[in-house]
Amino acid sequence: MHAERLEAAYAGRVLTRTQAISFSVLKTFSPTPDAALGEALDSVGTRGKFFLLRFPSAVFVVHLMQGGRLTLDSKLSAKPRGGLFRWHFDQGPALLLTEPGTERKAGVWVIAPGDETVPPLDQQGPEADQVTPAMLDAILTEAKGARLHGVLRDQHRIAGIGRRLANEVCWAAQISPFAPANKLGDDDRVRLMTALDRVIAAGFEDERTRDHMANSADRASCVHRHTGDACPRCGDTIREVTYNAYQVNYCPSCQTKGKVLADNTTSKFLK
C-alpha cells in the first residue's frame, strides 16, 4: 500500500519545515503544523480513506479526495502544479500533497497523538478489511431501505470503500448495486462477505506490486469503468448508471436478472 511505501521512504527523518501552499488546505488550527518540527516521523498509517503521518507531538491527517496524491518532491518548485501542502525533512526529498483541477477538496488536519477520535476521524466505521460477518449483518440490517452500493461507500458504516471497490464487490457477490441492503437474504450476505474479503485482498496485492499510488482507472477491475466491455464471468455487456460525479457499473446477467437499469439518477428499471 502507499502508506507502507511512504513509511519506508520517510520514517525516522526529521521534519524541518511545513508549507501550506494553498490557503484552504489546512483544516485545523490547533495543534499547529509546527508542533512536529524537529521530530522524526514515527510511522505512516491509514484510517479509512485518510493517511496518518504520525510524529511524537502531532499527527497529520490527510485526505486525498478523488484525485489527490502524496508524492516525493525533489524539485521543490515554488508553485508546484496542483500543490497544496509540503513537508520538508532533514534529508532526502520533501513530501508533497497535490490535487489536480481547481476544486481543491483535499485537506490536511493536525491532531494530537492518541486523539484519533476527533474530527475528521470521529465518525468512521470499521475498517473494510476488518469487517466480520456479524458486523456486516448489523450494517446491512440497520441500513433499512438504502441501496447496497451507497451503504458500502458510506464511510460512517464501513471505512475505506470507494466507488471502484463498491462496483467490484457488488459484481463479485452477484448482487445488484441498487438492491435494498436490509432485504438481502442469508445467501446474499454470505456472498457479499466473501466478495468483500476477496476484492479487498486482491486490491492490497495489486497495490503492493507498484512503486507508486495508482489512479483508480489504472487499478485492476472487472466492471469498474468497463462500460460496453464483456463481463469476464458471463460475457454480457457491462452497463452503467451515470450520476453527476461518478457511475455505477454492473452486469445485467450476473446482478440484475438480465434487467438493464435506466441510465439516470432515479435508477429505475427500463420497461
Any domain includes 123: no
Residue 72 shares a structural domain with residue 191: no
How far is it, in rounded angstroms, from Cα 196 to Cα 179? Answer: 16
Question: Which residue from 139, 131, 127 is spatially nearest to 50, judged by alpha carbons?
Answer: 127
Residue 105 shares a structural domain with residue 136: no
How far is it, in rounded angstroms, from Cα 200 to Cα 128? Answer: 8
Residue 65 shares a structural domain with residue 141: no
Indicate the residue among 111, 145, 176 that finishes a domain: 111
Indicate the residue among 86, 111, 136 that finishes a domain: 111
Residue 106 shares a structural domain with residue 134: no
Residue 89 shares a structural domain with residue 164: no
Any domain includes 39: yes
Model pTM?
0.88
Q: H helices of 11-73, where?
A: none
Any domain includes 260: no
Residue 67 shares a structural domain with residue 92: yes
Any domain includes 201: yes
Q: What is residue 74's predicted lDDT score, i.e. its pLDDT?
A: 93
How far is it, in rounded angstroms, from Cα 73 to Cα 77? Answer: 9
Q: What is residue 1's predicted lDDT score, i.e. its pLDDT?
A: 62
CATH number (domain holding residue 13) = 3.20.190.10
Cell of 18: 511545513
Rounded (10°) CA dihedral 230, 234, 240, 241: 170
Any domain includes 79: yes
How many domains would you assign to the chain? 2
Question: Which residue from 105, 115, 133 is spatially nearest to 49, judged by alpha carbons?
Answer: 105
Residue 134 shares a structural domain with residue 42: no
**CA 246 to chain centroid:** 14
Residue 145 shares a structural domain with residue 107: no
How far is it, in rounded angstroms, from Cα 66 to Cα 62? Answer: 13
Q: Judge if the upstream peptide bond of residue 120 is cis by omega within 30 degrees of 0.
A: yes
Q: What is residue 214's predicted lDDT score, i.e. its pLDDT?
A: 52
Any domain includes 209: yes
Q: What is residue 268's predicted lDDT score, i.e. its pLDDT?
A: 44
Residue 50 shares a structural domain with residue 13: yes
Residue 242 shares a structural domain with residue 139: yes
Q: What is residue 243's predicted lDDT score, i.e. its pLDDT?
A: 87
Any domain includes 236: yes
Residue 183 shares a structural domain with residue 236: yes
Q: What is residue 267's predicted lDDT score, i.e. its pLDDT?
A: 43
Any domain includes 197: yes
Residue by residue, pLDDT tens for the chain (271 residues) are 688 899 999 999 999 999 999 989 999 999 999 999 999 999 999 999 999 999 999 999 999 987 889 999 999 999 999 999 999 999 999 999 999 877 778 999 999 998 878 989 998 999 999 999 999 999 999 998 899 999 999 999 999 999 999 999 999 999 999 999 999 999 999 999 999 999 999 988 877 766 666 555 567 899 999 999 999 999 999 999 998 778 899 999 999 999 998 775 444 443 3
**CA 177 to chain centroid:** 18
CATH number (domain holding residue 191) = 1.10.8.50
Residue 93 shares a structural domain with residue 210: no
Q: What is residue 269's predicted lDDT score, i.e. its pLDDT?
A: 42
Q: What is the domain extent for residue 188?
A: 128-255
